[in-house]
Amino acid sequence: MKKLPSFLITLSTVMFFVFFSSCGQQADSPEETARQGFRAAPRIISPELLPDNRVTFRLFAKDASSVTITGEWQQGFGASEVMMRNDTGLFSLTVGPLNPELYAYNFTVDGVKALDPANVQVRRDGSNYQNFFIIPGPESDLYFHNHDVPHGTVSKVWYHSDVLGFERRMYVYTPPDYNNSDNKYPVFYLLHGAGGDEDAWTNMGRTAQIMDNLIARGKAIPMVVVMTNGNANQAGAQNEVPPLPQTTGGRGQEDAVTAMVRGGFEQHLVKDVIPFIEENYKVMTGRDKRAIAGLSMGGMHTQTITYDNPGMFGYIGVFSMGLMNFGPQNRDEETVEKERDEKIEALKNSGYELYWIACGTDDFLYESVTTLREVLDKHDFRYIYRESSGGHTWANWRIYLSEFAPMLFK
């Protein structure tokens, strides 16, 4: 008779676990369940994507006097929309129809930002956590995880930086057949913007989904994608890796501006990252097997790295970044111009395959991108300019990646 009760205990236990886990709550204990499960109102559907691409958001907040929603479909400074309360305390709002795209959003409850407890899809934008959803359609088709295409591996890789003097982390995407073949692959170095880190391109940029889908459709050739941390004062993403201690041999404690302006990251990519990748991965080497692109600050890094190392990269992409100069800032403009002209001429003669500049017409850097093109034109420097609508946004950077990757290594 002893087994019977214990048998029942364990079976009911599993049912108990699964009931709460099927509510989308980890039921590690009844206490946890009581604390979290019931509060999360798991039966509420939000966001609900309607057939006509309108979207309904819902939040149960019977004790709240005001709930608003802030989302990437909204225009203008500090835009938000008011959600309406019904007599049960359920706030809701239907927006759209929205164009096919990935949209981040969050609620604001009596002035405090809150995630949507009914939406498990969350992304990190710097230190800011937001929910997101994707409106399906041709324009967003590459952003979905598709079960019927092979998937690459994303690895969080630690390596030593001689230039910066400490251990650092990067993300490496290896394509679906990487483990099963003896092939060697070309390498695409993909750089993020200010406020981002090595997690940004996969988290905000959907890089793994975009590359999986492009490769499966034969639009991009299989390649290794290396996503570094462009902040020379960081070892890794702030949500997982603590700030560097004073004791590091490196310059981890210098502020972000100093770290950016002195060019430490740019030297580090060339002297630490590329050798590490070419030593530890099944990759091809040489100018025509290396690509580099970056957005915003990463576009600045891309310009600096390619100007200082002509012949190292055959494919170069500058996303949403214009003319810049980050040599010593106290020099007269003539010296700056002379140095820039020499570097442009050297890169012009380096035998690159593609130099691609992309910018949105609403980008606040649009003018400096125009100036960059004027300077390059003065040198008859060969480049392709892609002008999109929109501004300095991840929506554009996902589009630029989707268009740039298919042009590489062909």
Among the residue ranges 116-124, 215-223, 304-312, 342-350, the one whose residues contact a second copy (CB under 8 A): 116-124
Among the residue ranges 108-116, 182-190, 282-290, 346-354, the one whose residues contact a second copy (CB under 8 A): 108-116
User: In the window 16-55, what residues touch a second copy (CB under 8 A)?
Assistant: 17-18, 20-22, 24-32, 34-36, 38-40, 42
Binding mask 295-334 for a second copy (x = CB under 8 A): -xx--x--------------------xxxxxx--x---x-
DSSP string, 308-368: HSTTS-SEEEEES------S-TTS-HHHHHHHHHHHHHHHHTT--SEEEEEEETT-TTHHH
272 contacts: CB under 8 Å, gap ≥ 6: 159, 160, 161, 162, 163, 164, 168
User: SS3 of 187, please?
Assistant: strand
User: In the window 347-386, what residues touch a second copy (CB under 8 A)?
Assistant: 364-365, 367-368, 371-372, 374-375
- Closer residue to a second copy (CB): 354 or 399: 399
Tell the smallest beta-carbon distance from residue 200 to a second copy (Å).
Answer: 8
Q: Does 2 bind a second copy (CB under 8 A)?
A: yes
Cα separation of 351 and 315, whole Å? Answer: 10
Q: Does 335 bind a second copy (CB under 8 A)?
A: no
**54, 139, 141, 144: residue in contact with a second copy (rule CB under 8 A):** 144
Q: Does 246 bind a second copy (CB under 8 A)?
A: no
Q: Does 169 bind a second copy (CB under 8 A)?
A: yes
Tell the smallest beta-carbon distance from residue 101 to a second copy (Å).
Answer: 15
- Closer residue to a second copy (CB): 133 or 404: 133
Kindly state the number of chain residues that form the binding site for a second copy, as judged by CB under 8 A: 128
Phi-psi region at 27: left, alpha or beta (left = phi > 0; alpha = psi -120 to 50) = beta
Q: Does 78 bind a second copy (CB under 8 A)?
A: yes
Cα separation of 1 and 201, whole Å? Answer: 59
- Closer residue to a second copy (CB): 7 or 84: 7
Q: Does 61 bind a second copy (CB under 8 A)?
A: yes
> What is the phi/psi pair of residue 2, to 5°?
-65, -40
Q: Does 63 bind a second copy (CB under 8 A)?
A: yes
Buried b (16+ CB within 10 A) or exposed e, 304-337: bbbbebbebbbbbbbbbbbbeeeeeeeeeeeeee
Q: Does 240 bind a second copy (CB under 8 A)?
A: yes
Best CA proximity match to 319, nearest among 143, 171, 192: 192
**280, 285, 335, 349: residue in contact with a second copy (rule CB under 8 A):** 280
Phi-psi region at 310: left, alpha or beta (left = phi > 0; alpha = psi -120 to 50) = beta
